[in-house]
Each structure stands twice: as C-alpha cells, then as structure tokens.
Amino acid sequence: MKWLLAIGLILSGSTADNHDEIDLVWDDESIVEVQRSDFSIPWFGYPILNHTMLETLNKQMSLQIKKEPTNAGLDDYGKIIPEEVGYILDEKKFKKKFTASFFEKHHSRLQVPTLPVYPKVDSEIIANIRTNLIGHYITYFNSKNQERTHNINLAAEAINNHVVFPGETFSFNKVVGKRTASRGYQPAPIIVRGELSEGIGGGICQVSSTLFNAADRSGMKILERYSHSKQVPYVPPGRDATVSWYGPDFTFKNKYNQPILIRAKTYPGKMIVMIYSSDEINIEKRKVPSSDSSIIIPEEAI
C-alpha cells in the first residue's frame, strides 16, 4: 500500500539523525517518518512541542486514516452480504501518543490509533426486512440502445439494497448522486422543455419512475414527484417521475414503523423494483396501473 501523506512542510529540509525520528505505523505498515526537530520550539535549550505543527499533522492524518463503513445487503441470489466496519483516526489519542513520543530520546514507532465506524445497516436488519414483498413494479425498455441501457443499469445499482428507516425520507438525487461522465454515465436521449435532446445520464428517469410506482403501490408517502413535459412510453400516462440533478427530485417518506429494503434489478429489456419489509409491517397498499409490455419501446425512448 502506498501512502501519499501530504506533509511537505513538516518534512522539508529535515536532516536529523535516526534518533530524531518518529515512525508513524498503521496496520503494521510504516506510513511516514517525521523528525522531532520539525515539531520542536527551542526554549532555553529545552524542546517544546509545537502544537500548531501537531494539529496540522493530526488533520492530515485524519484525511488519510479513514475508511467508510459498508452496509449489509443482498446479492443477486438473495444471500446476505455482510456489513463491513469502517474506521477513522482517533485524533485525541493520536495527539496524546505523539506528545509522549516527542519527549523520548530515541527512535520511536507510534502505532496510529483508530476508532471503528459502524454501518447503519447490518446483517440482522437485512435478515429481518427481506421476507415480506410489500410492493413491486416492472417497466420495459429497448435494450438495443446501449448507452441508455448502461445508464439504467448504473442508476438501478445505486438504489439497490438501500434501506429507508421509519420516518426517514428517500431522495433519488441524493442516493444516486450526480450523473456525470466521470461516474460512468453516458450521453443518451433526454427531454428538455418538451423536446428530445442528448444529455449525460439519459434513461435514469425510467429508474425513478419504476421506483415511484413501486413505492406508491407499497403505500409510501410521496413527497416530491414531477411528470415529464412530454408523455413517456414506459409507464402509463401521469405515472412517471422525472429527475434532474439541478432540477426536480423524486422523494418519499417511509410512514411505517418498520424499515423497508429497495431491491432494483435490470434484465434484457426489463427493469424491476421490489420493496421489502418485515412480516410485522401493517401495509396499506395502493392500486397502481401496470406498464404494458406489449408496447414497442422506441430505441430513443427517454
């Protein structure tokens, strides 16, 4: 593992001997060696720790020593994917340990302390809410349009395995994130002011529309939902949910007393969103018209 710790100011011009070094070690690997003299303020022949330099090092270390936790989920076969615990720098303990090492008279190895960061969704939660299908919806698309199909797949992956807790609000834009070329989205047809044009991320509105109908069917409280300025072919009239990073969003609130699990999957020419919860949920389903698989979806369908 290569570390790119940005401590140029601290290390610049350091020519102290080996006894002056403090070796910062994490996960049995040396991250960087720093010199005590770079953190020292001479005072009547006695070294005093420069707390400003230590605070700079502490902030830089906190940027390097971190890992986001990973929520538990389900794989394509319904098997639970265990959660992964993350970590962050224990800043308070690090400064305390560094201060102690600073006043030692020999080469020191400082084990960088961390704190665990636990995921919001663990295997126990997933096991409890994967049993009861409370709503689903299927839409169809022309898989010959490879760019649009690619965007649909990306957006579906983004919402798949997302858990919405009781009273929590789901935001499509927040969960899926900005649709950019750097994140893998490709140009495909979109609707702009009632006209078809080309834009990065074209096709994701089919994902948001499929999710809207599944969420509506399962009785979620729809908070924000907008239709396209032009009718789309993949859902019945008035049943679409257009989204844009700098414009409309699709949001809903979980009004139940149990968490819900969103499962999104694409197949050749077909997309499905399924919403699960525990057997203890008191579901209030709504009637939602299904999409028509017999409709021929044009290749440029937005």
Length of the chain: 302
Report whether pLDDT(200) > 80: no
Q: What range does the domain containing 95 cover?
A: 21-117
Report whether pLDDT(9) > 50: no
Are 39 and 170 contained in the same domain?
A: no
Beta strands in the chain (DSSP E): 21-26, 29-35, 40-43, 46-49, 66-67, 73-74, 80-81, 86-89, 108-111, 114-117, 132-140, 162-164, 169-171, 187-192, 195-200, 221-224, 251-253, 260-267, 270-277
Tell me whether residue 175 is in a domain: yes
Q: In this structure, how many other beta carbons lie within 10 angstroms of the beta carbon of residue 46?
A: 8
CB 83 within 8 Å of CB 119? yes
Tell me whether residue 1 is in a domain: no
What pLDDT sits at residue 26?
Answer: 87
Say how far apart CA 295 and CA 54 lie, in whole Å: 66
Distances 105 to 40, 102, 166 between C-alpha atoms, Å: 13, 8, 56
Return phi, psi of residue 116, to 5°.
-70, 145
Mean pLDDT over 198-203 rounds to 68
Are 47 and 91 contained in the same domain?
A: yes
Say how far apart CA 82 and CA 80 lie, in whole Å: 6
Q: What residues are paired with 223 via a beta bridge?
A: none
Report whether pLDDT(195) > 60: no
Are 175 and 137 contained in the same domain?
A: yes
Are 103 and 140 contained in the same domain?
A: no
Tell me whether residue 299 is in a domain: no
Return phi, psi of residue 52, to 5°.
-70, -45
Say how far apart CA 288 and CA 126 lie, in whole Å: 27
State how many domains the chain has.
Answer: 2
Are 142 and 269 contained in the same domain?
A: yes
Report whether pLDDT(273) > 50: yes
Nearest to 130 by CA among 84, 73, 201: 73
Tell me whether residue 174 is in a domain: yes
Tell me whether residue 183 is in a domain: yes
Global pTM? Answer: 0.82
CB 252 within 8 Å of CB 169? yes
What pLDDT sits at residue 188?
Answer: 74
Tell me whether residue 123 is in a domain: no
What pLDDT sits at residue 217?
Answer: 97
Are 84 and 206 contained in the same domain?
A: no
What pLDDT sits at residue 299?
Answer: 53
Mean pLDDT over 270-285 rounds to 94
- Looking at every residue in the chain, the average pLDDT score rounds to 87
What pLDDT sits at residue 234?
Answer: 92
Q: Of 86, 117, 148, at which residue does a domain stop?
A: 117
HEC secondary structure over 196-254: EEEEECCCHHHHHHHHHHHHHHCCCEEEECCCCCCCCCCCCCCCCCCCCCCCCCCEEEC
Residues 6 or more apart whose CB falls under 8 angstroms from that of 132 comprise 276, 277, 278, 279, 281, 283
Tell me whether residue 289 is in a domain: no
Report whether pLDDT(2) > 50: no
Report whether pLDDT(116) > 70: yes
Residue found by looking up tokens 């190895």 in the block: 109
Say how far apart CA 214 and CA 157 lie, in whole Å: 16
Are 95 and 155 contained in the same domain?
A: no
Tell me whether residue 5 is in a domain: no
What pLDDT sits at residue 202?
Answer: 80
